[in-house]
């Protein structure tokens, strides 16, 4: 929700992983890495909603997307990476999602992220490794 | 059929300027006159975005306006009209705020042209993922940007 007083929140450490839901129309092949990447356009907005990964689960974020009628893949980067691009990371808890945070420009909170900032969020991030948590009595064998 | 006003003389001026951000357009009727087959696929991709509903990304992004669609079509046609070959087809996608972006990768060089919700067009030039330059695109700048994308690599950068 738009508000005039965005401020960087130091309680979100630089190491904190942030998740942004990406829909299929924003996924594009990256010829340099030969993998699926994200369009810069996914981040070209005024207030970029993210989730603080340590304060939620991938399943909960994906379920939030489904409640909103979309299928997300989760793109992740750290709060420190966002800050290094001249961005602010601030908490913006929602009633059903206390881990919700918002990224805005440090020099002009509320203005659309610069194209270069959006481009770099698409470059520095990666797809979150999402696994479905097994039940308490389940075991998972690896390798 | 979609109309795109492509005959205006716009050399050297921004794609859109306040307070008249859009060149008059005909709305969702009429024809797009193509001068090259290169433009077909990108224009189809732009037209597909016209049907995105509100909140298409789950974050409340607006649907894409007819003005933005027409501006993006005009941009594709102008790139095609440059006749720069070989130019790969761009990725065409929606932006989170209700715009349309065209993105090209060619080797290590990347160029993005974003049609903003207000009709302005902004560009970002990147090399190996690192942004080099950004700003408002003008019709005069378009040839320079696309020529850079397909141009020879600076041997000093090797």
Residue B46 token pair: 């732009």
**pLDDT given at position B156:** 53
Percent of chain B with pLDDT strictly greater than 90: 54
Q: State the Cα–Cα distance between residues A59 and A64, nearest whole angstrom.
A: 9
State residue B10's pLDDT score: 39
In a domain, B17, yes or no: no
Prediction pTM value: 0.84
Does residue A2 form part of some domain? Answer: no
The range of the structural domain enclosing residue B103 comes to 37-153
Residue B21 lies in a domain: no
Taking CB atoms and an 8 Å limit, are B97 and A45 in contact across chains? yes
How far is A140 from chain B, CA to nearest CA, in Å?
Answer: 32
Distance between CA atoms of residues B108 and A32, nearest Å: 7
Residue A37, phi-psi category: left (phi > 0), alpha (psi -120 to 50), beta (remainder): beta
CA pair distance B13, B4, nearest whole angstrom: 18
The conformation of residue A110, written as its DSSP 8-state character, comes to T
What is the Cα A37 distance to its own chain's centre? 14
Q: Residues of chain A whose pLDDT is less than 50?
A: 134-143
**Closest chain A residue to B57 measured between Cα atoms?**
A23
Contact (Cβ atoms closer than 8 angstroms) between residue B92 and residue B101: yes
The domain total for chain A is 1
pLDDT reading at B4 higher than 70: no
* CA atoms lying within 13 Å on the CB side of residue A68: 22
Tell me if the bond preceding A69 is cis, omega within 30° of 0.
Answer: no
Each residue's pLDDT tens digit, B107-144 = 899 999 999 999 999 999 999 889 999 999 887 889 99
pLDDT (0 to 100) of residue B84: 86
Q: Is residue B12 part of a domain?
A: no
In a domain, A138, yes or no: no
A13 touches chain B (CB under 8 A): no
The DSSP H or E segment spanning B71 is helix B66-82
- Consecutive H or E run containing B78: helix B66-82
Residue B155's pLDDT is what? 54
Q: Is residue A9 part of a domain?
A: no
Determine, yes or no, domain membership for A140.
no
Q: What is the pLDDT of residue B95?
A: 96
Query: Is position A8 within any domain?
Result: no
Nearest Cβ partner for A115 among B52, B59, B112: B112
ipTM over 0.90: no
Yes or no, beta carbons of A119 and B99 under 8 Å apart:
no
Say if CB A76 and CB A143 are below 8 A apart: no
Q: Is it the case that residue B30 has pLDDT exceeding 80?
A: no
Examine residue B16 and state whether it is found in any structural domain, yes or no: no
With the C-alpha atoms ordered B35, B37, B39, B45, is the resulting torsion angle positive or negative? positive
Residue B6: per-residue pLDDT: 38
Q: Do residue A32 and residue B105 have CB atoms under 8 angstroms apart? A: yes
Q: Is A141 contained in some domain?
A: no
Number of domains chain B contains = 1
Helix (H) / strand (E) element for B98: namely none
Whether chain B has a CB inside 8 Å of the CB on A19: the answer is no
Q: What are phi and psi of A102, to 5 degrees?
A: -135, 140
How far apart CA A74 and CA A58 sit, in angstroms, is: 8
Is B11 part of a structural domain of the chain?
A: no
| N-terminal to C-terminal alpha carbon distance within chain A | 45
Task: State pLDDT tens for residues B52-102.
Answer: 999 999 999 999 999 999 999 999 999 998 888 888 999 999 999 899 999
**Are A15 and A79 contacting, i.e. CB atoms less than 8 angstroms apart?**
yes
Axis-axis angle for helices B66-82, B40-49 (nearest 10): 170
- For the segment B7-13, the average pLDDT, to the nearest whole number, is 41
Least Cα distance to B146 among B76, B94, B92 occurs for B76
Q: Which residues contact A63 (CB under 8 A, 6 or more apart)?
A: none
- Domain with A86, as residue range(s), is 17-127
**What average pLDDT score do residues B12-31 get?**
45
A136 occurs within a structural domain: no
Nearest CA-CA distance, residue B139 and chain A, Å: 19
Taking residues B5-10, what's their average pLDDT? 37
């Amino acid at each position: 929700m738009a508000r005039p007083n965005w401020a960087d929140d130091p309680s979100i450490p630089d190491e904190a992983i942030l998740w942004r839901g990406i829909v299929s129309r924003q996924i594009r092949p990256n010829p340099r890495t030969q993998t699926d990447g994200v369009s810069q356009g996914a981040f070209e907005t005024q207030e970029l909603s993210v989730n603080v990964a340590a304060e939620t689960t991938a399943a909960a974020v994906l379920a939030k997307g489904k409640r909103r009628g979309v299928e997300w893949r989760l793109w992740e980067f750290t709060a420190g990476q966002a800050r290094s691009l001249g961005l602010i990371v601030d908490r913006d808890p929602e009633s059903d999602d206390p881990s919700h945070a918002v990224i805005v420009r440090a020099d002009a909170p509320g203005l659309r992220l610069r194209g270069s900032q959006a481009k770099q969020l698409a470059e520095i991030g990666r797809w979150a490794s999402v696994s479905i948590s097994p039940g308490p009595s389940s075991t998972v064998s690896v390798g | 059929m979609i109309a795109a006003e492509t005959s205006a003389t716009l050399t050297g001026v921004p794609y859109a300027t306040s307070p008249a951000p859009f060149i008059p357009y005909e709305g969702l009727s009429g024809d797009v006159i193509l001068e090259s087959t290169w433009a077909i696929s990108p224009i189809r991709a732009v037209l597909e975005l016209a049907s995105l509903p509100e909140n298409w990304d789950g974050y409340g992004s607006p649907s894409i306006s007819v003005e933005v669609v027409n501006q993006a079509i005009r941009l594709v046609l102008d790139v095609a009209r440059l006749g720069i070959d070989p130019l790969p087809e761009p990725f065409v996608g929606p932006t989170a705020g209700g715009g349309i972006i065209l993105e090209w990768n060619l080797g290590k060089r990347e160029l993005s042209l974003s049609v903003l919700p207000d009709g302005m067009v902004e560009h970002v030039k990147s090399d190996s993922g690192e942004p080099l330059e950004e700003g408002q695109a003008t019709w005069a700048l378009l040839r320079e940007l696309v020529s850079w994308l397909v141009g020879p690599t600076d041997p000093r950068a090797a």
